[in-house]
């Protein structure tokens, strides 16, 4: 959980990601997110963090050396 908080804090800038999905799948996804009191963007960002972590991809800036 600590790393999750750290990674969210480091994500200060945003970029748009546009994807094409089946309208029925999109509707079901949005409804599920709403039932869980989450936005689709929050869920997609979490899925991306998990996917990157699973594959050992580091996307956070390296701490500066003192």
Which structure tokens are listed for 23?
A: 């309208």
**Per-residue pLDDT at 9 exceeds 80:** no
- Is there a domain that residue 34 lies in? yes
- Is there a domain that residue 15 lies in? no
Rounded Cα distance, 58 and 66, in Å: 21
Rounded Cα distance, 7 and 16, in Å: 18
**pLDDT tens track for 12-41:** 788 999 999 999 999 999 999 999 999 999
- Is there a domain that residue 29 lies in? yes
Number of domains in the chain: 1
Q: How confident is the model at residue 8 (pLDDT cuts 50, 70, 90)?
A: low
- Is there a domain that residue 13 lies in? no
Q: Within the chain, how many helices (H) and strands (E) appear?
A: 3, 0
């Amino acid at each position: 959980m600590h790393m999750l908080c750290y990674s969210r804090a480091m994500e200060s800038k945003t970029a748009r990601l546009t994807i094409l999905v089946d309208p029925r799948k999109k509707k079901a996804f949005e409804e599920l997110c709403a039932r869980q009191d989450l936005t689709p963007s929050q869920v997609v960002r979490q899925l991306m963090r998990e996917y990157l972590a699973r594959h050992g991809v580091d996307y956070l800036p390296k701490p500066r050396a003192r």
